Structure 1
């Protein structure tokens, strides 16, 4: 698996990934706001893709925001066929290596404990295994499900262990 900065030709792959998780996150594939966010992250080189070396088709995608001392995972999705194979872990490690430049905190908004995606999608366990801790609840997602902030301290660019 290769993790690299996303390019314009990866946009349809982000939409394919989004289509696999709309039942948990709410509408994205047809949403102009989601399209704009992905394209803006790609334009700013703040989007990563995990690809298979044989196909260059995205197995996972990540949108990142870095404004030290706060770093934000804006969106992380791994395709159904690649879940459990290390794509999410590789994306997170690469994001920290590329974008974290000084000590701070890494934050992500994920499903609340009562959300069906919290268990079925494995998001909460995934982040906890990466050293994140649950913090305060936040606004519900567009589909109405609960959301919670998860945080992890980062020491700087050398902190690549996910």
Structure 2
């Protein structure tokens, strides 16, 4: 079972472990002070979520199952960073994180934006990121600036209607 909760300062090492699994796609993070500051700022601002594997069968390896950094300022919300642990990709962790972030922070009307891999980026297929966002209802937008590793990026958007109580 996967549980989603707000991140705590003690989760920084877990975020760094997740980052180490995707640096080949995103560029350096683990040893970058700016990344550490960004994670701590999101945690401090209550805009970071983590996924934990609560089932001992899926928690054979210690650490976070996933992490998400979010920009909760309406009307244009931003997914700043979303990573699922390699051992659990495809198990619904990312979907659970996104469902919780939408439930917790997004009231609508508005738009949720995320910059992910461009169609020609090696991580686009291997990570499944583009298909993941499309299955959640995001639609591809305009190209974005290349990532720090030089790979192409593209903006994706999700329109969010007013949430009815």
The reply to whether residue 42 of structure 1 matches residue 48 of structure 2 is: no
- Partner SS, residue 113 of structure 2: strand
Return the alpha-carbon distance in structure 2 between the equivalents of residues 59 and 65 of structure 1: 21
Query: Structure 2: 5+ residue runs without aligned partners?
Result: none
Cα distance in 2 between the residues matched to 1:156 and 1:5: 24
1:115 counterpart residue number: 121
Any stretches of 5+ residues in structure 1 without a counterpart? none
TM-score by length of structure 2 reads 0.93
Alignment correspondent of 1:105 = 111
Partner of 1:143, secondary structure, is coil
Structure 1 residues 55-83: Cα deviation after superposition (integer angstroms, max 9, x where no partner): 68310000000111101000000000110
For residue 142 of structure 1, give the secondary structure of its aligned residue in structure 2.
Answer: coil
Alignment root-mean-square deviation, CA = 1.5
Q: Which runs of 4+ in 1 moved over 6 A?
A: none
CA distance in 2, matches of 1:101, 1:41: 19
Q: Could you tell me which residue of structure 1 aligns to residue 30 of structure 2?
A: 29
8 A Cα contact 1:97 1:157, kept in partner: no
Offset of residue 156 of structure 1:
3.9
Would you say how many aligned residue pairs link Structure 1 and Structure 2?
A: 159
State whether structure 2 residue 128 is matched by structure 1 residue 127.
no
TM-score by length of 1: 0.94
1:3-152 pair list within 5 angstroms = 3-53=4-54, 54=56, 57-152=63-158
Q: For residues 95 and 57 of structure 1, what CA distance do their matches in structure 2 show? A: 20
Distance in structure 2 (CA, Å) of the matches to 1:111 and 1:43: 28
CA shift for structure 1 position 157: 4.5
